[in-house]
C-alpha cells in the first residue's frame, strides 16, 4: 500500500466489507454498533494507518477547538508559567494551543497573528511585543467575532479583554519600601515605556518619590530590554554615578540579579550600600545571595484567567461586559533591600 496515500473511512470500509457509515459510527463507539465490530474496525483502521481528520470535522462544526497564543519570548520563567496556566484550562475544555513568538518585534507579531488567523483559531491570547504601536492587525479576527484576550502587556482595544495586575500600585509599593529603608537616591531600571507594564511601574515609582518629598531625577532612570546584559550594563553605569544611588527598583528579576552580581563584584555591599528590589518573583530571586526582594506576579493565575475568559467569550452568544481583570500582586521583602536589618520574610 502507498504509505503517502491518505487513508479514509471508505478504504477501511472496503477492507472490512461494511458500509462507510458503520465504520464512522464504530470509530466513535456508537452504542448501536456491536462491541466486537467496533474492536475490529479500530484494529483495521490502525493497521491501515487511518487518521481522523479532526480539522475537516471541526470546520463542518464552524470551529477548530484551537486557540492561538502570541508571546514576546518563550525563554522566561514567567511566560512559561503563564502558558502552563493556560494549558491547564484549555485541556479541561478540549482546546489545543498553538503558541508563537513575536520575538519582541511588531512586524513578527503581525505575521504570527496572520498565520493564526489563517489557521482558523477560535480565539487568541496575546502579550504585546516591545515595539507594537497599534492594534490594526487584530482587526481581521475582531471583524469575524473571533475573541482576543490580552494579558500582561496589554493595550486599549474595543471589544478585547485585558488580564493584568496593578503595575502602578506595585511600582509604588516597591519604591515606597526602599524609601522606608532609608533610600533617597533610587535608580529605576525600566523597559519600553510604550508598554503598559513598564510605564505603569515607572509612574508608580515617580508617585512614591513625590509622596515622600523626594525630587524626581531623570538621570536616575535607565531604560533597557531588562535582559541579564542590560542589568550588567546598568550596574556599571550606577557604579560610575556621583553621588552613588542607595536604592534600585528594576522591572524584572533577571536584570535585578545581574545588577546584584555586578555590584558585589565591584565591591558594593547589598543592601548596606545599595538596596535592590526586582519584579516577578522568579525562582532565581530565592537563589541569588542576598535573596532578592521582589513583587510576586501571579503568572499561573494570569494564564488560567486569560484562558477561562477567552473560552467563555468563544462559547458565549453575547459579549462579556468586563474589559479588564486585575489580579492581586504582593511585595515580598528579602535581604537584598533590608537595610534596617529588621528582615521579615513575607512569603
pLDDT at 6: 78
Topology, domain 9-52: 434 Repressor (Amino-terminal Domain) (1.10.260)
Residue 220 banded pLDDT, cuts 50, 70, 90: very high
Computed over every residue of the chain, the mean pLDDT equals 91
- pLDDT higher than threshold 60 for residue 60: no
* Least confident range of 14-18, 210-214, 301-305: 14-18
Residue 29 has what pLDDT?
A: 84
The pLDDT of residue 59 is 55
E-strand stretches of the chain: 66-71, 96-101, 123-126, 148-151, 161-165, 186-190, 221-223, 247-250, 275-277, 294-296, 324-327, 330-332
Q: What is the pLDDT of residues 335-347, one digit of tens each?
A: 999 998 765 544 4
pTM of the entire predicted model: 0.82
Is 198's pLDDT higher than 70? yes
| Residue 328 banded pLDDT, cuts 50, 70, 90 | very high
- Of these ranges, 52-56, 60-64, 231-235, the one predicted with the greatest mean pLDDT is 231-235
Q: What is the pLDDT of residue 2?
A: 46
Q: What is the pLDDT of residues 119-141, one digit of tens each?
A: 999 999 999 999 999 999 999 89
User: Is the pLDDT at 58 greater than 80, yes or no?
Assistant: no
Provide, rounded to the nearest whole percent, the portion of the chain with pLDDT above 90. 77
HSE-up of residue 199 (Cα within 13 Å, Cβ side): 9
Question: Of 136, 113, 139, 133, nearest to 124 (Cα)?
Answer: 113
pLDDT surpassing 80 at residue 95: yes
pLDDT number for residue 225: 93
pLDDT at position 63: 79
**Is residue 248 very low, low, confident or very high in pLDDT (cuts 50, 70, 90)?**
very high
- b or e along 276-294 (b: 16 or more beta carbons within 10 Å of the residue's beta carbon)? bbbbbbbebbeebebbbbb
Strands 294-296 and 330-332, bridge-based pairing? antiparallel
The reply to whether 167-297+331-337 shares the fold of 64-164+298-327 is yes
What pLDDT is stored for residue 27 in this prediction? 87
* Residue 223 phi, psi dihedral angles, 5° rounding: -110, 130
**Confidence category of residue 297, pLDDT binned at 50, 70, 90:** very high
The lowest-confidence range among 6-15, 74-83, 221-230 is 6-15
More confidently predicted of 30 and 250: 250
- The residue ranges of every structural domain in the chain are 9-52, 64-164+298-327, 167-297+331-337
Per-residue pLDDT at 316: 82
- Protein fold of 167-297+331-337: Rossmann fold (3.40.50)
The pLDDT of residue 203 is 98
* pLDDT at residue 322 greater than cutoff 80: no
CATH architecture of 64-164+298-327: 3-Layer(aba) Sandwich (3.40)
Q: Is the pLDDT of residue 1 over 80?
A: no
The dihedral built from the CA positions of residue 311, 312, 313 and 318, taken in this order, carries a sign that is positive
Query: Beta-carbon neighbour count of residue 58 at 10 Å?
Result: 15
Report pLDDT digits (tens) over 267-284. Answer: 999 999 999 999 999 999
Identify the band that residue 5 occupies on the pLDDT scale cut at 50, 70 and 90: confident
Amino acid at each position: 500500500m502507498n504509505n503517502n496515500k491518505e487513508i479514509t473511512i471508505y478504504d477501511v470500509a472496503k477492507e472490512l466489507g461494511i458500509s462507510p457509515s458503520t465504520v464512522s459510527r464504530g470509530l466513535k463507539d456508537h452504542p448501536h454498533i456491536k462491541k466486537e465490530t467496533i474492536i475490529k474496525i479500530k484494529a483495521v483502521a490502525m493497521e491501515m494507518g487511518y487518521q481522523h481528520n479532526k480539522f475537516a470535522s471541526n470546520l463542518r462544526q464552524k470551529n477548530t477547538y484551537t486557540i492561538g497564543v502570541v508571546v514576546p519570548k518563550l525563554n522566561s520563567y514567567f511566560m512559561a508559567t503563564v502558558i502552563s496556566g493556560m494549558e491547564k484550562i484549555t485541556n479541561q475544555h478540549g482546546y489545543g494551543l498553538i503558541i508563537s513568538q513575536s520575538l519582541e518585534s511588531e512586524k513578527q507579531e503581525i505575521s504570527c497573528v496572520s498565520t493564526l488567523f489563517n489557521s482558523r483559531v477560535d480565539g487568541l491570547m496575546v502579550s504585546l511585543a516591545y515595539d507594537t504601536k497599534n492594534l490594526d492587525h487584530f482587526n481581521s479576527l475582531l471583524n469575524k467575532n473571533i475573541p482576543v484576550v490580552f494579558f500582561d502587556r496589554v493595550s486599549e482595544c474595543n471589544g478585547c479583554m485585558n488580564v493584568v495586575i496593578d503595575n502602578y500600585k506595585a511600582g509604588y509599593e516597591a519604591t515606597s519600601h526602599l524609601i522606608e529603608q532609608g533610600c533617597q537616591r533610587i535608580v529605576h531600571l525600566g523597559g519600553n515605556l510604550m508598554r503598559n507594564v513598564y510605564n505603569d511601574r515607572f509612574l508608580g515609582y515617580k508617585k512614591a518619590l513625590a509622596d515622600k518629598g523626594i525630587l524626581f531625577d531623570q538621570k536616575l532612570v535607565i531604560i533597557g530590554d531588562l535582559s541579564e546584559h542590560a542589568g550588567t550594563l546598568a550596574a556599571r553605569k550606577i557604579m560610575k554615578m556621583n553621588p552613588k544611588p542607595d536604592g534600585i527598583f528594576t522591572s524584572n528579576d533577571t536584570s535585578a540579579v545581574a545588577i546584584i552580581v555586578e555590584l558585589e563584584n565591584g565591591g558594593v555591599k547589598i543592601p548596606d550600600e545599595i538596596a535592590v528590589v526586582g519584579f516577578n518573583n522568579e525562582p532565581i530571586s530565592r537563589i541569588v545571595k542576598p535573596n532578592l526582594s521582589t513583587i510576586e506576579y501571579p503568572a499561573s493565575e494570569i494564564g488560567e484567567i486569560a484562558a477561562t475568559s477567552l473560552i467563555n467569550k468563544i462559547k458565549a452568544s453575547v459579549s462579556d461586559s468586563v474589559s479588564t481583570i486585575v489580579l492581586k500582586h504582593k511585595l515580598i521583602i528579602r535581604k537584598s533591600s533590608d537595610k534596617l536589618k529588621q528582615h521579615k520574610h513575607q512569603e
